[in-house]
Every structure is written in C-alpha cells, then in structure tokens.
Structure 1
C-alpha cells in the first residue's frame, strides 16, 4: 500500500493537533478506560491512543505494555493516518513488508494491527486509536463496530478538551480586561470625585459667605448644585462598588449561623426611627460565601427601609431549605414596585422615577449587584410586589 504523504496536508494536520493542546498533556483515566475496553472487546493484549507529532508518536493512553514514545517513521500509525480507511487493519501474513519495517520501532514482535484515525471536523488526523496482537488474527463485525465507537468517544474527549482550553483562554482574557476596566473605573472615579469635592466645598462656602446678598432663587440654585454634586458622587461610588463586588465572590466558602449573621446586619439599622426587623432564630448554612450573602442582605434591607414612607417600617426575613437550595425571603411594608418595573430593577444603571424617604433617587447599581452575587452563588431572585403594600424579594442559593 503506497503511503499518501503530502507536505501541505501534514502542515494542516499539525496545526489541527496544536489546537487540541493534547501533545505531552499527561495521563488521564478517561482515556485509559477506553483502551482497556478496546483490548477486552477485541481480545487483544495491547491497545493505544497514539498522538502523532512531527517526528515522534506519543501515547495518551497505553494498555498492556509500557512504552513512552516511538519514532514516527515506519510506525503503523504513520500508515493509518494516510491510508484513507475507516479502520486500517493489517496482519503480517498479508503485509509482511509493514511488519518488517516496524521491527525496529516497537518493543514487541507484533503480527496484527488495527488503527482508527481520529479526525477533526476538517478531516485531519491528530491521533490513532489502535490495537495490537502478537499473533495473526482478524476482527469480526461486532469488534469493528466497538472499536469505531470507542475511537469516536476518544475524539469526543479530545473535542471537549479543546473547547475547555479555548474557554479557559477566553476566561483569562476576560479577567484581564475586567481588571483593566476596574483600574480604569477607579482612576476615572478618583479624577471625578476630587473636583466634585471642590465643587461641593466651594458652593457651600459661597452660600455661607453670601447668604445676605443672595436672593431665594439664587440660594435655591446653589442647593441644586450641591444636591447634584452629591448625587454624582454617590453614583461614582456605586460604580466602584459594583466592579469591586467580584472580589467578594472570590472569598472562601464557610459555614454560617444565619441568626448571628442577620443580627450583625440588622443592628446597623436598629438606631433608625420606627424600624422593626424580624428574622429566623434558627438556621445553619454549610459552605456558603458569607461576604457575598451579607452584601445581598444589606442591600435588600437597606432598600426596604429607604423606599418606605410609612411611619412604622417593617422588614421580615424568612428562611427554609430544599434538597438543592437555601431559600430566603425579605418582605417589607414599603412603597411597592409597579408590575411593569419589576423586570427593570435588576438591570445595571436602570433607575425608576421613585424617590426614597429622603427624596433621593437610586443609582441603579445596588440591586444589579444583588442579582450578580446571587447568580454567582448558583441561585436566582424573584420579586412579588404591590403598590402601597410592600414587596417580597425571594431568592435562593445553591447548597452543597
């Protein structure tokens, strides 16, 4: 059988192999199981998954013999990838020349070989799934089907590894871009906050030193200027908190006593007038991100109290568990949210016309951060609300 070696095809084949990052990639039990099955089903002593390099053949998995790598020249795998056959199967009786050439390549004196080229989507062979025997034999129909099926599964593993490698590369690039964006946001916010502080200070000074000279309208203009400056400063602070929130998600997971966690958070609001916050007196959480969960509760409780114009402000927190999730609900008797606005409140920088009890507008960042934290903890959040009656934020996070 004439070897079909074309240099341009070989270059394309090597380029395809490089995409899989499989050469010299170490042992893997998944591949070892495939070679074990191939040897048992086909009743042969040796099975291999051979990665075809430039000059060498390296084994991703070997069953039945110990061998690190061999020369590619005169190997059976070299014949397999250029034969153009689904299964390249030969024995020494019918093709003595191949076995004579291979004597200096292999440790054993093989008399039978069958190899399935592992092809990528463009038809380039990156490896060979093969079996060997020291005696002359042939495969029956079922053994051929089984060998092809195992080879197909091996190629699926290669594809999965390739996609995983690409994903990891994209993740690294995104992480680097995110760090650059965070650094940019930090620098810009600093450059904005410094002149903002000057604007606020100078405006307050101007108002105090000229309070007798300014009419009511002029003083009102200055008040608007100060208020807008504070709003912009809070907005900048919110952006920084959102981008820095990913650092919270990198914290270690730990066991949490829920009542203790909630007590520390609710104590922050206990000094406010007419505030009543209730929470469970029992609850143990295993392996959760305490920092992220604390941030979620702080944002939800803070919003529940800010957007509540009633004299007696109430927040009730409940907790239950399922087989897969820790489930929470934060309910209030506040202003409520319009049904058409519920889908908007978790979008970054989306603000509603509503004002808090101090007359301030939100930044559209707090609830976006809440949603991000919960989704990173493999959970979800929903809202039930009625104008004038209050809202209930139900969320769940994955439990171990």
Structure 2
C-alpha cells in the first residue's frame, strides 16, 4: 500500500514539474546568482539547484563543481523530496549509509548535505536547493533561514517562468486565431464587395436606361440603393483595415522629424478649400513606429475636417515632451461631440448617427483603430469637446 501511495504521489509530482518546462532548460544567470549566494552564506564549497526528473537529477545551476547530471536513485535530493522537512540536513557521522550509497554518484566524497525542497502550490517537490561540504559540519540558524529564503526566491523564479510560458502559449494561440480572423475578414470582404459592385453598376445602368420612364419616387429608391451599397462597401473596407492594422505595428521603429511628417499629411488636404492646418515647427521623436503614428494623425485630422460644417475648417496640432512620453493635441473647430457620447466613440462599430459634411455616416472603425495603435505604443488618448464649438483629441505615446 505504501509503495502504491508513493507511486501516485510521484506521478503527480512529475506532472507538476512538467508545468514549469524547466527540465534541461539551459543556463540562467539569475539562478547562478542564487547558488553563488547559497555557497557563500553557508560557507560551503558547493551549491546546486537540482531538478528531479523521472530517473535522473539535472542541475539548473551549480556552484563549485562540474555541472553533470546524475542518477536519481540514492541521491541526496531523492531523500530530500520525500523527507517532508522544511530543510533536510545530514552528515556522514550520523547517517553513514546515505553517504555510502551516494558515493558513486558524485564527483567527490561529501560528508555534509543540506537541502530545501522547492514546493509548488500543491506541495509537490519539483526541485531542491542544496549545499554540500567535504567535511562534517552543520548550519547555524541564520544560515538555515538564508538557505530557505534563497530556495523561496528560486521557486519564485520557477513560478515566473511558468506564468511566462503559459502567457507565450496563449499569445501564440491568439495570434493564430487573429490570423484566421483576418483571413476570414479578407475573404468575406472580397465576397461582399464583388456583388456590391454589381449592385451599384446595375442600379446606375437601370437609372440611365430608364430615366425617361421612371417616376421621381422610383429614381429616389434607386439612389437610396446606390447610397446604401456604397455605405456597406465602406463598412467592409473599414473592417478589413482594422484587422490589418496590426501589421502596421510590426513595422520597424525609427527616428521621426515631426514637422516633416505633419507637412506630408497636411499637404494631402492642400487642394481642399477653406482648410487651415497648423503644426509645430520643431520636434524630433526617437525610436518611434512611424507608420502607426502617421495612421493616428491621418485618422484624427481627417475626422476633424469631415465632421466640420464651418466655412473655414481649422485644425491645430501641438506637441510637448515629458521624461516618459511624447504628448500631442489635435484641436479643431468642428461640430463637436456631446459629453454623453465621448466614451462611446472609441468602441469598435459604435456610431453616433452623425453625418459628415458630405452627408455620409461613419463606420465606427476609424477611432477604434486609432485607440488600438496608441495603446500598442504604450500610450493613452482622451477627448475634450463642446457641441457646436469643436474638439481636442489629446494623446501620448511612450518614449523608448
């Protein structure tokens, strides 16, 4: 019965060890610093972090002796994980049989051993933090407490590694799901846009060929059909741009001369009448995702001009730096946003039923994309607005 119990416990212990993905995981200076401290504090020539596998003991870190794996049977670590003691201490004078059995496993003949089992949250010992000496001795209370403290820090590193591994696994799955979603959006976009183009062209043809026979109401119905088709096409295009926007965030980082960047964007609107865009004449941003920042400015400036029914449309861009962030503000004299709607405008697919100066409705995608870009650049965005007066979009991005 006892052997069956141990076998069951050992199976659970190995399962716990597998969750940490630590076995034969390579050298790491963080663990090497712990074994160095363990040896110095305990005044022992050898310190090890021993990972207990199925049949062998492998060392995550070793100080003071060659780093070779050994067979688990009769090792000091084997005794430690089943001793159920906070710290397992033995010497050859009191327990000579342990040292006699272990003599063939180690590179030299030890006469003192102290080991702290590294337990997971369920109490399974996955490893041992231990020190060795070639002479009979003991540890004082401070040394014992220090060895236990170092073992706890080692276990914290194991836990951190486990959580990091899980996070990386989740990120890989999410990335794969996102690629599948992007592919789906692309396929749906293509499949919808083709018939939409046919609807638009056939409707226009129907209007042209029957312009003498259609009454005013029929022509109005056809105009509504064309307008709705264009709106749906723009909506589909917006969805595709949103899911493709992550590719912009994968672009290389570079230094950016802010006035040059803003001049190229403002030049896009130079042919429009009654547009006034002002921006700083100084500013040099270092190590910035230029593509993402350009997309943010283009979307915000475009919105400021579209949702503006004034005779002279104004957009003013300001910029300042802090120790941690590049800060920007884009102020317009447009239609403004009601306070109750400010929290909604950055949510994907959320529209305010507002028409731009050309009579078109928004898709609820542009500002969601802006927010996504800014947050990926470790920043935030806020809005101050007054209905009928204008809006100021303030955003900041992390200085790297």
Q: TM-score interval w.r.t. the shorter chain?
A: over 0.9
Query: Is it true that 1:339 corresponds to 2:323 in the alignment?
Result: no
- Aligned-residue offset at 1:205: 0.3
Q: Distance in 1 between matches of 2:198 and 2:279?
A: 43
**Match in the other structure for 2:166:** 166
1:67 Cα offset (Å): 2.4
Q: 2:183 maps to what in 1?
A: 183
For 2:4 and 2:239, the matched residues in 1 are separated by 61
What is residue 204 of structure 2 aligned with on the other side? 204
Matches of 2:27 and 2:326, distance apart in 1: 38
Q: Distance in 1 between matches of 2:17 and 2:384?
A: 53
Shift of residue 248, structure 1, vs aligned partner: 0.1
In the TM superposition, residue 4 of structure 1 has moved relative to its aligned partner by 10
Partner Cα distance (1:250, 1:172) in 2: 15
* Root mean square deviation, CA, Å: 1.1
Distance in 2 (CA, whole Å) between partners of 1:269 and 1:352 is 25
Return the offset for 1:3: 10
Tell me, yes or no, if structure 1 residue 310 matches structure 2 residue 310. Answer: yes
2:217 is the counterpart of 1:217: yes
Q: How many residue pairs get matched?
A: 399
Does the Cα contact within 8 Å between 1:3 and 1:83 map onto a contact in 2? no
Distance of 1:26 and 1:353 partners within structure 2: 58
Give the whole-Å Cα distance in 2 for the aligned partners of 1:35 and 1:3: 34
Residue 119 (1) aligns with residue 119 (2): yes
- Measured in 1, the distance between the counterparts of 2:5 and 2:322 equals 61
**Cα distance change, pair 3–133 in 1 and its aligned pair in 2 (3 A):** farther
Please give the TM-score of this superposition, normalised by the length of structure 1.
0.99
Distance in 1 (CA, whole Å) between partners of 2:56 and 2:153 is 24
Q: For 1:270-309, what per-residue CA distance to the aligned partner results, in whole angstroms no more than 9, with x for missing partners?
A: 1111000000111000000000000000000000000000
Please list the CA deviations of residues 28-49 of structure 1 after superposition, one character each: whole Å capped at 9, or x if unmatched. 1111111111111111111000
Paired with 2:368 and 2:397, the residues of 1 have a C-alpha distance of 16
Say whether the 8 Å CA contact 1:4–1:83 is kept in structure 2: no
Superposition misfits of 4+ residues, deviation over 2 angstroms: 2-5
- What do residues 246-276 of structure 1 show as CA deviations (whole Å, max 9, x unaligned)? 0000001000000111111111111111000
Q: Provide the TM-score with structure 2 as the length reference.
A: 0.99
Q: Following the alignment from structure 2 to structure 1, what is the Cα–Cα distance between the partners of residues 339 and 355?
A: 17
Query: Distance between the aligned counterparts of 2:227 and 2:249, measured in 1?
Result: 33
The answer to whether 1:64 aligns with 2:55 is no
Query: Is contact 1:35–1:61 with CA below 8 Å preserved after alignment?
Result: yes
Once the two structures are overlaid, the 10-residue window that deviates more, 303-312 or 62-71, is 62-71
Other-structure match for 1:236? 236
Alpha-carbon distance change, 153 to 174 in structure 1, aligned in 2, over 3 angstroms: same
Distance 2:76 2:254 in 1: 55
Partner secondary structure for residue 388 of structure 1: coil
Question: What corresponds to 1:76 in structure 2?
Answer: 76
Aligned to 1:286, what secondary structure does the other structure show?
Answer: strand
User: Which aligned pairs between 1:289-328 and structure 2 lie closer than 5 A?
Assistant: 289-328=289-328
1:73 shift after superposition: 1.0
Aligned equivalent of 2:145:
145
Whether the 8 Å contact between 1:313 and 1:332 is mirrored in structure 2 is yes
In 2, the alpha carbon distance for the partners of 1:288 and 1:93 equals 66
Q: Deviations over 1:143-180 (max 9, x none)?
A: 11111110000000000000000000000000000000
- Classify the secondary structure of the residue corresponding to 2:58: strand
Distance in 2 of aligned mates of 1:203 and 1:164: 56
| 1:326–1:398 CA contact under 8 A, matched in 2 | yes
1: CA distance, partners of 2:216 / 2:230 = 21
- 1:12 alignment partner in structure 2: 12
- Correspondence 1:361-400 to 2 at 5 A: 361-400=361-400
Match of 2:355 in 1: 355
**Aligned twin of 1:131:** 131
Distance in 1 between residues matched to 2:197 and 2:53, nearest whole Å: 64
Change (3 A) 1:270 1:247: same
2:3 and 2:184 map into 1 onto residues whose CA distance is 58
Runs (5+) with no aligned partner, structure 2: none
The CA deviation string for residues 178-203 of structure 1, in whole angstroms up to 9 with x for no partner, is 00000001001110000000000000
User: Would you say the 8 A contact 1:110–1:135 is kept in 2?
Assistant: yes
1:272 aligns with 2:288: no
